[in-house]
Amino acid sequence: MRKFVTAIKRMRQTMKRHHDKRAGLWLTEVGWGSSHNGQRLNKGKRGQKRLLKKSFSVSVHKRRKWHIQGVQWFDWRDPGAGQPTGCSFCSSAGLLKHNYAKKPAYRAFRQLAKRY
């Protein structure tokens, strides 16, 4: 989570240096995988849920200070077996499994969407 916050702070600093400090910021492709394959961005099902909740909560809490316009989760649904994924965590980054089964992060996402 520290890297998430640091990346946003650095972006805001860069925007300020370039006289764009009031511009809105969209946080897109936020996500972590639910796999346990040892890759850095795969956090398991509970870890994916925890990081989703933390990233969205800090974004809401800091939305005025950081001029956040919106946050978008990286992937809605996991790709099917054998489909190309493009990254180390992409095969499990969805809120739903490929068969549309809901992951714990999906339920957290719904709760946050209702709240905010």
How many helical (H) and strand (E) elements, i.e. helices and strands, does the chain have?
Answer: 4, 4
101 backbone φψ class: left, alpha, beta (φ>0; ψ -120 to 50):
beta
Taking the C-alpha atoms of residue 32 and residue 115, their distance in angstroms, rounded to an integer, is 22
pLDDT tens digit sequence for 22-34: 999 999 999 999 9
The answer to whether the CB of 104 falls within 8 A of the CB of 45 is: yes
pLDDT tens digits, residue range 56-98?
999 999 999 999 999 999 999 999 988 888 898 999 999 999 9
Query: Rounded distance, CA 95 to CA 105, Å?
Result: 6
Domains and CATH numbers, the chain: 2-115 (3.20.20.80)
pTM: 0.91
* Cα angle 45, 77, 105; round to 5: 30
